[in-house]
Every structure is written in C-alpha cells, then in structure tokens.
C-alpha cells in the first residue's frame, strides 16, 4: 500500500483517485472546489484536505489532473515544497512538453521524481479504469509509479525523457482530430445522399474505415447528441498546445490546424461543452 495524494477531481481525476483508494492505497485528495473533495471522501472513504501542502505531506506519490499549464504550475509549487525526498509527482494533465521539462528539472533539484503522464480514453475510460497513459521521465521513477497507475490503466508506456509523454499525447490528438472530422463529413454526406446512416456504418465499419470514433460515436452523431465525452473547449486547448509545439519543431499540421478552426465554429454555436463528435453539427449548420 502506498500513501498517495490526488490533486484535481474533475471528470477524469475523480474516478482515477477512486480506483487508487479501491485498490488499497491510502489516498488523500485536494480539489479547488472543496465540496467536490468532501463528496469524493464520502463516496470512497479516503481523506479530503483543505490545502495542497496537507494533502501531499509524507506521501509516496502525488498525482495531478488539472486543466492547463498555469493550473499545473499553481499546484506544483506548493506540492514540491511539501513533498518528501524520493516521492514522485505524476502529472496526468495534458499540458505542454516545455512545462514537463521545466518541472522535471525543479523536481530533480529537490530530490523528487517527476513523470509527465497524460492519458487517453476520456471520461468513459477513466470511469472504467481503462485509460491509456503515455509517460515521460526517468526509468527509475516510472518503475515506481507504474504499478500504482495500473489501478486505472489498461496500457502504460514510457516514451522517453521528460516531455515525451506530452508529445505523444499531441500525436494522439492530431490523429483524433482528423478521424472525427472525416467521420462527421462521411455521416453528413450520407444524410444528404438520402442513405440510412446506421446501415452505412454497418456496411463500412468492418473494413478499412473502422475506428474507435465510428464504433462509439456514430449513433449519437446521427441523433445530434453531444454529451458523451471530451469537451470541445478541452480539445481546443490540446490543439493549441500541439500547434504551438509544431511551430517550434517545424512539423506541418494543416489538417489539425483546420479542424481547430472548425472547433472554434462549434464554440461559436454554443457548443463549448459538447463532445468532440459535435463537428457534424457545424456541417449541418453551415
């Protein structure tokens, strides 16, 4: 059993922390909204703390899953100050690779471990304990943290040094953006052509066009229901980070950049909290 702190109890962090507690670890939680932490403690039996410092003190592992670079910086400062030597900070936030490298250097100075460990699988994956985690950091720190992360993961891969996990998550988002837009256009075309959308998917989903998005989102896309996963606001944040990195490394991402603008249109339609499959709503409006 490990002493763990979990910082950030959003749609992802809440069930992830729950799996840690259910697997026998001693879990303390902190959330910006204290009521959320209190509710989590009542549900899972762990302990809610009023401060980050109190939550992380004496812990072997500190896990974080928050929003963006500024949020990570805001919690890493007090956490690093209070963590004991040898403890490992695992950041599940999708953030920039530059921040991961910065925090890894700071952690090393303080004799702490650091792993950037963004996740893929969405809310459904978090609630099922079936996330895919891509990690960057030192192999020794990864070896310590991997068995703990296994509580809520189906696949965990060390991609390289600090920042490599975040870079891999960027690849993940690049691929998803293109696939979702392709599926949206295909379903939109099928409707305009007078085809039965469900029969179309039945016909093509076992061939080369098959994808996770097709299998899990086509029905709700056809119905115009977009409350089933990763929000457009968060996808735009991820694509912003990705496009900034591309400008640094010289990668050309014309499709990702275009889809990012399509998501801006969805936001303008009032779809900030719709899931990413809502690209089809844009096609049907414009």
Q: What is the pLDDT of residue 61?
A: 98
E-strand spans in the chain?
Answer: 3-7, 26-30, 47-48, 61-64, 88-91, 113-116, 119-120, 131-137, 153-160
Dump pLDDT digits (tens) for 18-29. 999 999 999 999
Q: What is the pLDDT of residue 229?
A: 78
Domains and CATH numbers, the chain: 3-160 (3.40.50.720), 168-285 (1.10.1040.10)
Q: What residues form DSSP beta bridges with 26?
A: 3
Q: What is the pLDDT of residue 47?
A: 95
Backbone angles phi, psi at 174, to 5 degrees: -60, -45
Catalytic residue, from 42, 84, 169, 237: name it. Answer: 169
What are the b/e assignments for 251-276, b being 16+ CB within 10 Å?
Answer: eebeebeebbebbebbeeeebeebbb
Question: What pLDDT band is residue 285 in, cutting at 50, 70 and 90?
Answer: confident
31 contacts 51 by C-beta, under 8 angstroms: no
Is 272 among the residues known to form the active site? Answer: no
Dump pLDDT digits (tens) for 122-164. 899 999 999 999 999 999 999 999 999 999 999 999 999 999 9
| pLDDT surpassing 90 at residue 286 | no
Spatial distance between the Cα atoms of 63 and 171, rounded to a whole number of angstroms? 23
Q: Which of 232, 90, 243 is nearest to 170 (CA)?
A: 243
Mean pLDDT of the chain: 97
| pLDDT surpassing 80 at residue 89 | yes
């Amino acid at each position: 059993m490990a002493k763990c702190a979990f910082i950030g109890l959003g749609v992802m962090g809440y069930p992830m922390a729950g799996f840690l507690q259910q697997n026998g670890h001693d879990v303390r939680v902190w959330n910006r909204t204290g009521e959320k932490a209190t509710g989590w403690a009542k549900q899972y039996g762990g302990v809610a703390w009023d401060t980050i410092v109190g939550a992380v003190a004496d812990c072997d592992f500190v896990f974080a899953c928050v929003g963006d670079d500024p949020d990570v910086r805001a919690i890493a400062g007090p956490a690093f100050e209070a963590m004991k030597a040898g403890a490992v900070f695992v950041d599940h936030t999708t953030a920039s690779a530059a921040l991961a490298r910065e925090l890894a250097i700071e952690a090393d100075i303080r004799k702490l471990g650091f792993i950037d460990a963004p996740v893929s699988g969405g809310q459904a994956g978090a609630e099922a304990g079936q996330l895919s985690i891509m990690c960057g950091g030192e192999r020794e720190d990864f070896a310590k943290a991997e068995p703990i992360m296994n509580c809520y993961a189906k696949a965990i891969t060390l991609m390289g040094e600090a920042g490599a996990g975040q870079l891999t998550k960027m690849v993940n988002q690049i691929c998803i953006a293109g696939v979702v837009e392709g599926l949206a256009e295909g379903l939109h075309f099928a409707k305009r052509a007078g085809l039965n959308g469900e029969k179309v998917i039945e016909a093509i989903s076992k061939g080369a066009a098959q994808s996770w998005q097709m299998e899990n989102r086509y029905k709700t896309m056809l119905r115009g229901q977009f409350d089933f996963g990763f929000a457009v606001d968060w996808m735009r944040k991820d694509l912003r980070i990705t496009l900034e990195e591309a400008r640094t490394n010289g990668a050309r991402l014309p499709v990702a950049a275009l889809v990012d603008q399509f998501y801006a249109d969805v936001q303008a339609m009032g779809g900030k909290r719709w899931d990413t499959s809502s690209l089809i709503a844009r096609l049907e409006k414009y």
